[in-house]
Amino acid sequence: MSAGPPRLAARAGAAPSSVIRDSLALISRPEIISFAGGLPAPELFDVSGLRECYDRVLADSGPRVLQYSTTDGDPVLREAVAARLSRTGMPTDPGDLLITSGAQQALSLLSTVLLEPGDTVLVEDPTYLAALQCFGYAGARVVAAPTDADGIRTDQLADLVRRERPKLIYLVPTFANPTGHTLPAERRAEVVRVAGRHGVWVVEDDPYHELRFRGEPVPALSSLDDAGGHTILLGSLSKTVAPGMRLGWLRAPAEVHRACLLAKQALDLHTSTIDQAAAAAYLTRYDLDRHLKTVREEYGRRCTAMLDALAAAMPPGSTWTTPDGGMFVWVRLPAGHDAAALLPSAVAHDVAYVPGSPFFAQQPDPRTLRLSFTTHRPAVIAEGIRRLGELLAR
């Protein structure tokens, strides 16, 4: 007699699949103008500079960069990242940083070391989908904090924290994915203050702040945590250098840093030695700031093209965000529309986007959708939005 097939752990079926990753597979037809993927512009990658760096590290220290290495990460890379963070008002010692395989791995490590099943995580609504996936695997209870056009509202935060007793607050405060919004400085200070008073971790997921093309920088939450006790910063080279290198970091208080280091040993031993070495060479020998200037200027042009096209094409009653940086515009269609239901017609009309509903932790708004403005040139963006407007006008 058979006992039937062995079973998966309950958590394996509990986490939602990423609709974005699923839908990217569907929209590969070349005629489609896709605003769906959150991808950096590939033609702006510094391919030749990076190639030189890979060549150089292989030529100068081939055996070392092909070998296993330490879990905490390449010392030169940590030094270079620490110097960049320190320059932006966040004094950072290389020893404060753990290099991770993308910021995504840092999120996963934090979920492992900070969250018990049933613990509450407070998030903005909508929020970054793959963070919701991590919290799902950890068995956390996700609670949506009141959120407006600027991000999490702090007028009721203390009450909410008292009521829900979260273990951590997760925020993408600068050029958020998916909305593009940036949390104002006063609210940042209030989040740090309330969390500090109530003993709540703040996870500041910050892969986009170097992509500002308008306006003035806003201090990182981590720079406002004077005691350095309860804020954790996640960063990444994905949006500034190249996502395929899978390089990110976590800047955390010593206890969290140590716990994540041990969890990473269990997960992947360490992040790719050769990719870290090439990135270290890139950050120390090349001018990332000059490269970023080019990227920011181009993204600014593309964002403007998208905002202008939306103004010209969208039906009355539509609204959208006007980001100062990053990669995304968040659109709300007029009453009666459902962005997910509309997507097949949009794809048939050769334009694609990501429906907004999956980004919501609690009450989805079916009228919303996310557009990425990074991967097409302005004229193509204008044409794609024109197609979307034409479809909506039907």
Interaction between residue 238 and ligand PMP (CB under 6 A): yes
Of residues 154 and 236, the one with the C-beta less far from ligand PMP: 236
Residues 73, 151, 180, 207: which binds ligand PMP (CB under 6 A)? Answer: 207
Of residues 154 and 372, the one with the C-beta less far from ligand PMP: 372
Interaction between residue 36 and ligand PMP (CB under 6 A): no
Interaction between residue 323 and ligand PMP (CB under 6 A): no
β-strand 328-332 against 368-372: which pairing, if any?
antiparallel
Considering the complex, what minimum distance in angstroms separates the CB of residue 246 from ligand PMP? 7
Considering the complex, what minimum distance in angstroms separates the CB of residue 177 from ligand PMP? 4
Cβ 222 vs Cβ 90: under 8 Å: yes
Considering the complex, what minimum distance in angstroms separates the CB of residue 254 from ligand PMP? 23
Tokens matching residue 68: 């296993």
# of chain residues touching ligand PMP (CB under 6 A): 13
d(CA 125, CA 139): 19
Interaction between residue 38 and ligand PMP (CB under 6 A): yes
Query: Where does this chain touch ligand PMP (CB under 6 A) — which range of 62-70, 99-107, 188-196, 305-313?
Result: 99-107
d(CA 174, CA 184): 9
Where in 124-143 is the site for ligand PMP (CB under 6 A)?
128
Interaction between residue 102 and ligand PMP (CB under 6 A): yes
Of residues 57 and 250, the one with the C-beta less far from ligand PMP: 250
DSSP letter for each residue of 298-335: HHHHHHHHHHHHHHHHSPTT-EE---SBSSEEEEEPPT
d(CA 232, CA 169): 10
3-state DSSP call for residue 234?
strand
First CA to last CA distance, the chain: 60
Interaction between residue 243 and ligand PMP (CB under 6 A): yes
Of residues 54 and 328, the one with the C-beta less far from ligand PMP: 328
Going by C-alpha positions, the residue among 394, 106, 37 that lies closest to residue 249 is 106
What residues have CB less than 8 Å from 336, skipping those under 6 apart? Answer: none
Of residues 73 and 207, the one with the C-beta less far from ligand PMP: 207
Interaction between residue 54 and ligand PMP (CB under 6 A): no
d(CA 203, CA 215): 24
Interaction between residue 34 and ligand PMP (CB under 6 A): no
Interaction between residue 103 and ligand PMP (CB under 6 A): yes
d(CA 54, CA 245): 11
For ligand PMP, the binding residues (CB under 6 A) are: 38, 102-104, 128, 172, 177, 205, 207, 236, 238, 243, 248
